[in-house]
Structure 1
Amino acid sequence: MTRAPRSSVLALALAVGVSLAACGGSDGDGGADDLNADDLALAAAITSGLESSDADGTFAEVMDTECMGVESVKALGGAAAAEEKYGIDAATVDADFTLAGLEPDDARAVVDGYLRCGDLDDLLVVSFVENGATEEEARCVVDNLPENAVVDSFVAAASVDIGDNEAGRAMDEMLQAAAVGCVEQ
């Protein structure tokens, strides 16, 4: 079994721009009907940034980037709230756009929105495969993680800095235990 790089779940979430901020929940379904022009511009910028960071298209295979852009804006409370609370606007979002250190409730709202846009388990499998695991190995590790571990890892990635942090260490331990479970099967 190829061991996933340290904190790969957290790194993936930040590298692809999944970790954005939120203030309040999202009650939408990925549709942009209730967004104003500024909201739509920010959603388009987030979508473009996600697509630009996905050079080989593997991210887009498992996640709907347009939905993620819309859900981000909804979870952020709209473009005005995103700019006021986090300094995020359509001009600051690009392929390298990342944001960490969010309040956990804000991070949870964004990830909850992303759940309407694709399967985070599949996204994690793609990440592991891109880092050298076979698809079978990656799927085994993800399937052996505790319930809600993948969602919780994306929330942790959005709410803490990658580096020496408790959430990263806890996820590393879960990944190692899941990998050991695969080897023992």
Structure 2
Amino acid sequence: MRRAGADGIEISADLTDPDAAAMMASQIRNEIGPVDILVNNAGAYPRTTWSDTDERAWAAALEINLSSHYRACRAVTSSMIARGLGRIVNVSSVNARAGRPGLVAYGAAKAGLLGLTASLARELGPHGITVNTVVPGVIQVDTENTLPPHHRARPEDIARQCVPRRGQAQGVAAAIAFLTSPAASFISARSLHIDGGWMPH
């Protein structure tokens, strides 16, 4: 933000800590002001077979991929309601609808975000707050180079897309920027796929 000429601060927080999001929001309000835009982009997807998805693995996947988003929303929506404006964008995954072996808990959590978005949009819409979800497909990111091969995008995933290539992070960022802009003030409770047509509907 500072590079773009705006005020900004950097805060590190463990969003699996139930108190962390509220403390983070409080620090932002004290140093910069109230939060108008929230982009929930926390996530982790360790590949775990169904037979190895025990209670601990299941709970961990829901904590980081769903509950952390709930906490962040809770931390900022009261001030959004008070001011009568706000934009929330949750980052889900094409795996929420397509499914993938080894990502049962992750897919369930990301599907939960779609439900959170729809219901929260209904509740917060009368207060001038929109809530939407972006649903990325196989997006190329630098950190993928550090992952084991079986965690990376598969050629068969790309082949099923209408646009048979990897997506770029800039495309996801552009979709989020649009949903948080004045041009999208009448768009809410929607899920916008950035997946090259993986899931046409």
Q: TM-score, normalised by structure 2?
A: 0.32
Structure with the higher strand share, 1 or 2: 2
Higher alpha-carbon Rg: 2
Q: TM-score, normalised by structure 1?
A: 0.34
Structure with the higher helix share, 1 or 2: 1
Of structures 1 and 2, the one with the larger relative CO (CA 8 A, separation 6+) is 1
